[in-house]
Amino acid sequence: MVATVHPSEKLLSTAKVGYKSQVSHFKDTCMACKLLAMGILPGTEIELIRKAPFGGGCYVKADNILVALREAEAKCIVLRS
Amino acid sequence: MEAARTTGSKPIIALIGNPNSGKTSVFNQLTGLQQKVGNFPGVTVDKKSGDLDLGLETAAELVDFPGTYSLYPTSKDEKLVVQTLSHPHDENFPDAILYVADVTKLEKHLLLFTQLRDLNIPILLALNMRDLAEQDGLQYDLQALERKLGVPVVFISGRTGLGMDDLKLGLANLLLKKQAPAGNFYQPSNEEKQLIAALQPDFPAYLPYQLLLLAHHQNWLPYLGVEEKAKIAKASTNTGFQDLQMQVHETMQRYGKFTPMVAESKMQGRSGGLSFTERLDRVLTNRTFGPLIFFSIMLLVFQSLFAWAEYPMTLIEDTFGQMGQWCRYILGSSMFTDLLVDGFIAGLGGIVVFVPQIAILFFLISLLEEVGYMARAAFMFDRVMQVFGLNGRSVVALISGGACAIPAIMSTRTIGNWKERLITILVTPFISCSARIPVYTVLIGFVVPAQKWGWFSLQAWAFMGLYLLGIVAALLAAFVLKLVLKTNEVSYLMLEMPPYRWPVMRNVWLTVWEKVKTFLIEAGRIILIISLVLWVLASFGPGQAMQKAEEAALVQAKTEQLDEDATEDLVAASRMEASYAGLLGKAIEPAIKPLGFDWKIGIALITSFAAREVFVATMATIYSIGHQSDEYSVRERMAKQKNPITGQKVYNAATSLSLLLFYVFAMQCMSTLAVVRRETKSWKWPLVQFTFMTALAYLASWLAYNLLS
């Protein structure tokens, strides 16, 4: 699947710490399958709580679970704006 | 009904659930000390199982499957679940499934359940973490859930043991009734229906959902033959089956169906109070304090491995020494006594001596795991470790390797990605362990003078340099292995961070017990055999060679008028020279000469394969000071050694540095190799590891020797 970047799309990886929104859709189907299995679905409330100490990683609250994501993984989550 | 059945015919109950569902606690509650570790066929995944007495004259074997989120696996461990459950002829194919879900996250934990439900196996849903739910005032209408999901539901707590009797009764009923849930949860799409229809004639034993799983996973499922794979691939193409698209479709349909069921059955309460965890994580995963706290904790782990383990280790060494002396006293001296004392008892002692370090490390690690901290460490160090092809959790193994590689390698079990785990196992022995310290202590004085540089002694700097060298070697080797090793497994972080919980000590102790037991039985076997071989090499020589050497030594001692101790030392040295180990040392001399080593060092290299610190004792024996084998005397003696031909000192800076570097890099520990074999389930990886570490050691020593001399 080709990851096209639309200027209006808000990606989790570029969100500021504290940003809270809902998952709109995913950019990569393979990655999406894994996120779906963990319970991160379109419509899931998602909040970026903090970034990893050595950069890249995201500490995220998704509904009632806390999840650590790599930058590449956060990049495929498109948020509702 | 027969009460006593043979183990083989006992029904199998598969314990399945998402990661962090508290599955292990439930397993420990049900099986306790009855659990055993075995192998799943054909994979490197450990199979934990235990006997269950369910009452009602029903017994079963409970098999703990790796935690997974769905039947679409991404790691070897997860694949195992699909591999077993999609194949009715698999030897571990269960008669019933015990599915554990975290009741506080039920909205997230039922995807896998609905998938398993479509496999026509009797299944019981255990809602775990009842203690937490009751604390938060979370309540579900269990009857409503049972009705909607079509399976029996029990409400339990693996931590406190609440509801375990209901669970056992439920499982017994499940096995007696043998009733699988009615109907399918998932309604296949039209393409999928066509595919099922196309495959059914060729695979009559499989259920519709199993056929879909075959189509999704045919490229890796090990039990499918080439022809079968070709048939599935053809049918998939013909019916326009899009594997990822179908997976998303299936997943969304399942969520769409069970989410309202969960919501409607919920009587009261909001699930998942995370405020305590979130507040704690503000500090523990803070960009500055997080790593600092982690390293402080690791310092404590390291300190306990290094210092606290010392006492029980000395006690074990002394006990086995006493036992040997006692046997000698009772049995008198004979070859049998030698075999028993120097071979067997010493070998056993050499195995048991690792137990304190293994027990301490796993006590601390499983405590940190239980509390929920380890996932945070994995998150914080993921990025840094990824550069070297390692996992965030590898940091713990690498740091523990500074005390001893054996427990460190055993701790890599929690790394899900096989390649990352393998690389961690392969590079951990580069980290300087405590057994290298005596060797460094003896040799460093020959390389670096006892002067001060700044506040610190030059030797202390050199010591630190050797440690750093080990760390650099480990990271560089990891980087190279990352590029060399091929894998089709994609690496993910996507790690759920469990809420912080008070640890359940039963789980901690069971982990310690299991690790110690596996080490003693599985690695211990190999270590004992190798130490017996090493004993034979050092105690026997060809024909009468050793006796002759002894006689010659006695004559020499008489002419030199040596006292009793000195005579014994001389005899020991002469016997060692005439033994197979001595011959082997001489045989490898041409190979190690370019490194500046003579045959005496060759012997030490061979014998220290038992454990690196044996180097010191061997040196003492070879240089006829067996009675004073402390590091100081050995160094004194070595300093005096001169090459008989050139008259120059043997332990000049070049040879000593070369030898030091050899000990930094070489894989000279049979116990580590035995543990690597145990963890990778083949001799391939320990051999690869032995080869590349020895090659690197040889190269480094050769360079150092030739540059300095």
d(CA B170, CA B571): 72
Partner residue facing B291 (CB), from A41, A53, A64: A53
Instruction: List all residues of chain B from 68 to 97 with a beta carbon under 8 Å from chain A.
Output: 69-70, 72, 74
Given a cut of 50, whether residue B6 has pLDDT beyond it is no
Question: Is B447 a domain residue?
Answer: yes
Confidence of residue B425 (pLDDT cuts 50, 70, 90): very high
pLDDT tens-digit map of B395-414: 999 999 998 999 999 999 88
A12 interfaces chain B, CB cutoff of 8 Å: no
Q: Calculate mean pLDDT across residues A28-44.
A: 94
pLDDT at A4 over 70: no
How do residues B148-187 score in pLDDT, each as one tens digit?
Answer: 999 999 999 999 999 999 999 999 999 999 989 988 999 9
CB contact under 8 A, A30 and B274: no
CA angle A29, A30, A35 (to 5 degrees): 90
User: Same structural domain for residues B547 and B610?
Assistant: yes
Nearest to A36 by CA among B428, B252, B383: B252
Chain B residues within an 8 Å CB radius of A71: 383
What integer pLDDT is reported at residue B470 of this predicted model? 95
Test B286 with A37 for CB contact under 8 angstroms: no
Domain count, chain B: 4
Domain-embedded: residue B277:
no
Taking CA atoms, B88 is separated from B113, B173, B201, B211, in Å, by 18, 22, 17, 12
Task: Quote the mean pLDDT of chain B.
Answer: 91
Last residue of a domain, one of B177, B207, B225: B177
Same-domain check for residues B71 and B171? yes
Average pLDDT, chain A: 89
pLDDT in tens, A11-20: 999 999 999 9
Residue B279 within any structural domain of the chain: no
Q: Specify whether B312 is located in the same domain as B437.
A: yes
- Tell me, yes or no, whether B483 and B523 share the same domain: no
Residues B102 and B217 in one domain: no
Whether B319 and B463 map to the same domain: the answer is: yes
Tokens at residue B592, please?
A: 């190690």
From the candidates A17, A25, A54, A73, which should be mutated to test the interface with B, based on the most B CB atoms within 10 A?
A: A54
Q: Give the distance from residue A69's alpha carbon to the nearest chain B alpha carbon, in angstroms.
A: 5
**Touching check for A25 and chain B: CB below 8 Å?**
no
Maximum mean pLDDT: which of B75-79, B140-144, B202-206: B140-144
Question: Where do the domains of chain A lie, and which CATH numbers do they carry?
Answer: 10-79 (2.30.30.90)
Q: What is the ipTM, given to two decimal places?
A: 0.93
Whether B369 is in a domain gets the answer: yes
Q: In chain B, positions 16-75, which contact chain A (CB-CB < 8 Å)?
A: 69-70, 72, 74
What's residue B272's pLDDT? 54
Q: What three-state secondary structure class fits B372?
A: coil
Q: Are residues B613 and B699 in the same domain?
A: yes
Do both B474 and B622 map to the same domain? no
Question: Residue A47 and residue A40: Cα distance in Å, rounded?
Answer: 12
State the DSSP H helix or E strand holding residue B488, giving kind and residue range, or none if neither. Answer: none
Q: Are residues B392 and B472 in the same domain?
A: yes
- A18 in contact with B at a CB cutoff of 8 Å? no
Please answer yes or no on whether A59 and B291 come within 8 Å at the CB atom: no
* B296 and B263 both lie in a single domain: no
Asked if the Cβ–Cβ distance from B499 to A34 is below 8 Å, we say no
Task: Search chain A and give the residue with CA nearest B70.
Answer: A37
Question: Does residue B280 lie in a domain region?
Answer: no
The CA-atom distances, in angstroms, between B372 and each of B369, B398, B468 are: 5, 20, 31
* pTM of the model as a whole: 0.90
Residue at a domain's end among B130, B152, B177: B177
CATH number for the domain harbouring residue B31? 3.40.50.300
B493/A61 CB distance under 8 A: no
Q: By the CB < 8 Å criterion, does A53 face chain B?
A: yes
Distance from CA of A68 to the nearest CA of B (A): 5
pLDDT in tens, B341-365: 888 898 899 899 999 999 999 999 9
Judge contact between A61 and A38, C-beta under 8 A. no
CB contact under 8 A, A55 and B383: yes
Take residue B578 and report the two structure tokens written for it: 């005439």
Same domain for B314 and B258: no
Whether B603 is in a domain gets the answer: yes
The answer to the question of residue B352 being in a domain is yes
Q: What's the half-sphere exposure (Cβ side, CA atoms, 13 Å) at B639? A: 13
Question: Whole domain around residue B696: which residue ranges?
Answer: 514-708
* Residues B620 and B652 occupy one common structural domain: yes
When comparing pLDDT for B306 and B594, which is higher?
A: B594
Residue B206 lies inside a defined structural domain of this protein: yes
Counts for chain B of helices (H) and strands (E), in that order: 35, 12
Cα gap B254→B88, rounded to integer Å: 24
Tokens found for residue B333: 């001296």
